[in-house]
Amino acid sequence: MKRKSLTVKNKVHKKILSHLKNKEFKKIYINFEKFLKYKKIGSFVVALSGGSDSLALAYFSKCFQILNNKKIYYVHVDHKIRKNSSKEARDLKHFVSKYQINCEILSWKKIKEIRTTQENARIARYSLLEKFCKTKKINAVLLAHHQDDLYENFFIRMLRGSGIRGLTSFSSKDTLISRGLKGYRPFLNIPKKTLLKVTNKVFSYYIDDPSNYNNQFLRIRVRNLLRKLEIDGFDKKKFDLTYCNLHSANETLKFYSDQNISNNTNYLNKSVKDTLVLNSKFFRQPNEIVLRSLSTLISKINNKYYYPRGKSMLKKIYEIKDNSFKKTTFGGCIIERINNTTLIYPENIK
């Protein structure tokens, strides 16, 4: 690197690190670094939407990169949903480059048959991130989810009639995206307003997504409801206690679900590992344990980061438990009964 370029780079790095003199920012960074080292995460990908939350994540990731000399990738997914999304992506890439952050843009090439919804956009985003990580041989993606997201997710899942696993789906700071790729949420205990403060101080810039004000989306309606509840005295400390109790119950159920999988399933061929055999005891457990066990196996086989919907899953379990059951498809898998055993394998298996 030329001397002039090196001098510019050093000046930028010095300016970035200077913000850690702020005690609040310093505390966040120390916990952020502890989290990464505890999870043994060295190189990783930062999912950079351009919003205030993700830019705060990019800032602390850049500090970690400078101080620990690690290889970190910054990736923005252009969903092309909004008219100006591609321009925003280019503007974001240009802006963060001033901070020695090289942001790579991944574009969603939509298939005409796929409806443009927030859910489909989310699935596409994770799919693009997964492909990018595979090419870079990275197994960790950092996500900017924060405390407010945890509250919103709880109420959204409650309105959809989710069980304990769904209600506490944000309780873990790490989540499986696909086989060999994990997503990490280091900011789950930090409110959005704190991350906004960081972004305003460091960058004085972020993309304000207009969909954040669109009442057409359930998440926005829930967000507005929570603001009203907060004005009316919503006690977050009591909510946190309730959430903690639910999380504890969820971990207990997970323990017995994992035990059911361990004791009552096996691979038909251990060298190939594409077909699972479930013995008759697998379906003799309580319904919640069977539901969790089966949805975990289906998610594992079809290599998806999300579980099948609980309601449709329960219907399928009742169908499988029936003595006349022979064969069915569900979640990209084929489930087949042969004598007293049940086989699960991918639909596209040869």
Is the pLDDT confidence value at 6 over 80?
no
pLDDT for the residue numbered 193:
95
State pLDDT tens for residues 260-317: 999 999 998 877 678 899 998 999 999 899 999 998 898 888 766 567 677 788 888 8
- Residue range 61-75: mean pLDDT, rounded: 96
What pLDDT band is residue 327 in, cutting at 50, 70 and 90?
A: very high
Does residue 344 contact residue 299 with C-beta atoms inside 8 Å? no
User: What's the token pair of residue 262?
Assistant: 């361990």
Q: Which residue type, as a one-letter code, is found at position 327?
A: K
Q: What count of other Cβ atoms lies within 10 Å of the Cβ of residue 36?
A: 21
Fold category of 3-234 in CATH: Rossmann fold (3.40.50)
Is the pLDDT confidence value at 217 over 70?
yes
Q: Which residue has the higher pLDDT, 38 or 161?
A: 38
b/e for 65-80, b at 16 or more Cβ within 10 A? Answer: bbeeeeebbbbbbbbe
Is the pLDDT confidence value at 172 over 90?
no
How much of the chain, in percent, has pLDDT values that exceed 70?
Answer: 93
pLDDT for the residue numbered 104:
95
pLDDT for the residue numbered 304:
65
Q: Which helix (H) or strand (E) holds 105?
A: strand 103-107
User: What's the token pair of residue 263?
Assistant: 């004791």
Q: Residues 7, 12, 13, 14: is their CA dihedral positive or negative? A: positive
Alpha helices (H) in the chain, listed in sequence order: 3-18, 23-38, 52-68, 85-97, 118-136, 147-159, 164-167, 192-202, 218-231, 236-264, 287-301, 310-321
Least confident interval from 3-17, 64-78, 131-145, 253-267 = 3-17
pLDDT for the residue numbered 259:
97
State pLDDT tens for residues 77-112: 988 877 888 999 999 999 999 999 999 999 887 665
Look at residue 180 and give its three-state secondary structure.
coil
State pLDDT tens for residues 135-154: 999 999 999 999 999 999 99
- Residue range 249-254: mean pLDDT, rounded: 94
pLDDT for the residue numbered 268:
85
Does residue 305 contact residue 126 with C-beta atoms inside 8 Å? yes
Is the pLDDT confidence value at 176 over 60?
yes
C-alpha 275: how far from chain center: 27
Q: Residues 51, 52, 53, 58: is their CA dihedral positive or negative? A: positive
- Average pLDDT of the residues of the chain: 89
pLDDT for the residue numbered 139:
94
State pLDDT tens for residues 124-135: 888 899 999 999
Is the pLDDT confidence value at 162 over 70?
yes
- Residue range 40-46: mean pLDDT, rounded: 94
Q: What's this model's pTM, rounded to 2 decimal places?
A: 0.84
Least confident interval from 23-37, 201-215, 246-260, 293-307 = 293-307
